[in-house]
Amino acid sequence: MNATSSSSARKRIAVIPGDGIGKEVIPEAVKVLQAAAAAGGREVALAEFDWGADRYLRDGTTLPADAVEMLRRDFDAILLGAMGDPRVPTNIHAAEILLGLRFKLDLYVNARPCVLFDRRFTPLKYRTEKDVNFMVLRENTEGLYVGMGGNFKKGTADEVAIQEDVNTRKGVERIIRYAFEFARKRGLQRVCMSDKSNALTFGHDLWQRAFKEVRGEYPGIESSHQYIDNLLMQMVRDPAQFQVIVTSNLFGDIASDLGAQLAGGLGLAPSGNIHPGQVSLFEPVHGSAPNIAGNGTANPIGAILAVGMMFEFLGWESEARAIDQAVRAALREEKTPAELGGSRSTREVGDWVANSVAKSGVAS
């Protein structure tokens, strides 16, 4: 069974808090998850996994050998905090756990919504909620992230370092098609593809050709192209022009941090690592934030909204809406953490949103 089998059955969710503020925001997201499920009369079974830097430093485990099979067999979705720890400078555990799950579960869509909930939080002058409301769809299984390449004469003056940018016809085409399907299902009019085909003449020429072919299948949707350097500038200059942005793994990583800040802050931004119809992974966009970890001040809203994305994926739309509304209320009523200029702790924000979800109930 997986998420496609039924939207009413009990869902099994794997929880991986990970490192740093991941361990602080995930308990709050779980609180909200439980409140929303209870309000909707839904049953969830949670199982926590201790994969992350502590475990790696203790016994060398990153992603256990049977993890992928177990997640596919026993779970409908995964909630993850963040991976990254200064005690592991190579970031090997993050690569093997986080990128490992993205690759091995073939989670080819990284959906990163950039939505301004309240105009007070955008750094852009005169911009309002209607101006910052777009989705970044990041290719999530290839590109510069695949780890192909190597060193020659490492550590010498003649060192060569090669990092390959892998773009496959299948991989590029499926994320572009997902972007058009996403626009169609949501009733959106515009899809913008971003690449660097003026300089990266092999891989990004493939993006160009695939985009031109796929867009022909969606005559009702306006398609455009911007080079990534221009796209990032345009996101700041006139974000209202974007509804759906589709781009490569690395460019999507960069664009989504910028988009998060346009919407008020990195700590607000959720994401879904998705393979439609298969077990998928939801997480905040941010990392482990070692600079504030342990203070109890991290913004848990990105992690909470990631639960909303998970519920939508699971077909629990009313519960997802309840989470969205509770977060909007928290922002409106300034129940905010330091990142948003407030003084609430991570736990206080989580408690407030969970109580608000429980009180408001879930209208189905």
By the criterion CB under 6 A, which residues form the site for ligand IPM? 84, 94, 98-99, 253, 285, 287
Could you give phi then psi for residue 137, rounded to 5 degrees? -110, 105
Active site includes 196?
Answer: yes
Residues between 295 and 334 with contacts to ligand NAD, criterion CB under 6 A: 298-299, 302
- The span from the CA of 33 to the CA of 323, in Å, is 8
- The site string for ligand NAD over 83-102 (x = CB under 6 A, - otherwise) reads xx------x--x---x----
**Interface stretch with ligand NAD, choices 36-44, 128-136, 233-241, 289-297 (CB under 6 A):** 289-297
Nearest to 16 by CA among 50, 55, 65: 50
What is the nearest approach in angstroms of ligand NAD to the Cβ of residue 193? 24
Contact in structure between 172 and 206 (CB atoms under 8 Å): yes
What is the nearest approach in angstroms of Mn ion to the Cβ of residue 170? 24
Residue 82 binds ligand NAD (CB under 6 A)? yes
Q: How many other CB atoms are there within 10 angstroms of residue 16's CB atom?
A: 25
Active site includes 158?
Answer: no
Nearest to 262 by CA among 238, 243, 288: 238
* 287 or 308: CB nearest ligand IPM: 287
Active site includes 229?
Answer: yes
Q: Which of 145, 195, 324, 335 is catalytic?
A: 145
- The site string for ligand NAD over 244-283 (x = CB under 6 A, - otherwise) reads ----------------------xx---------------x
- The span from the CA of 262 to the CA of 274, in Å, is 24
314: which 2 tokens?
């699971």
Nearest to 297 by CA among 352, 353, 342, 355: 342
Residues between 87 and 146 with contacts to Mn ion, criterion CB under 5 A: none
- The span from the CA of 318 to the CA of 337, in Å, is 26
Q: What is the DSSP letter of 149?
A: E
Active site includes 145?
Answer: yes
Residue with tokens 């781009």: 247
Question: Residues with catalytic annotation?
Answer: 145, 196, 229, 253, 257
Chain contacts with ligand NAD (rule: CB under 6 A):
21, 25, 82-84, 91, 94, 98, 266-267, 283, 286-292, 298-299, 302, 339
